[in-house]
Amino acid sequence: MNTKLLVIAAAAVLALSACKNETPAAQQEAAEASAAADAAGAEAADAISATGEMVQQGAEAAAAATGEAVSEVAGNTQEAAADVSDAAAQAADKAAAETNEAAQEADVAIDGEND
C-alpha cells in the first residue's frame, strides 16, 4: 500500500512539473507579477535613498546645532570674562583708593606727631 501511494505521489509530482500553463491569462498574470516585483524593488530603492538623505540631514542639523551651541558658549564665556575683568578693575581701583586714603591718614598722623 505504501509503495502504491509513493508511486502515485511521484507520478503526480512528475505530471505537475511537466505541465506548463502557457495560456495568455497565465502569461499576463506572470507579466503583472514581474512588473509588480520591479515596482516594489524601485520603491524599496527610493525608500533606502530617502532614509540615507534623512540621516545625512539629521547629521547636518546636529552639527549646525552643535556649532550654534559652541558659538553661544563662546559668547557667554567672553561676556563672563569681560564681567570678571570689569570687577577686577573696580576692585583694583577701590584698593588703590583705600591705599591712597590710608597713606594720607598715615601722613596726617605722622604730621600730627611731629608737631
pLDDT digits (tens, 9 = 90+) for 27-61: 777 778 777 877 777 787 777 887 878 888 888 88
Nearest to 78 by CA among 66, 67, 68, 70: 70
Asked whether residue 9 carries a pLDDT value surpassing 70, the answer given is no
pLDDT-based confidence at 10, cuts 50/70/90?
low
How many CB atoms are located within 10 Å of the residue 32 CB?
10
20 sits in which H/E element: none
Q: Say what the pLDDT of residue 28 is.
A: 78
User: Domain ranges in the chain?
Assistant: 34-114
**Distance, CA of 77 to CA of 10 (rounded, Å):** 85
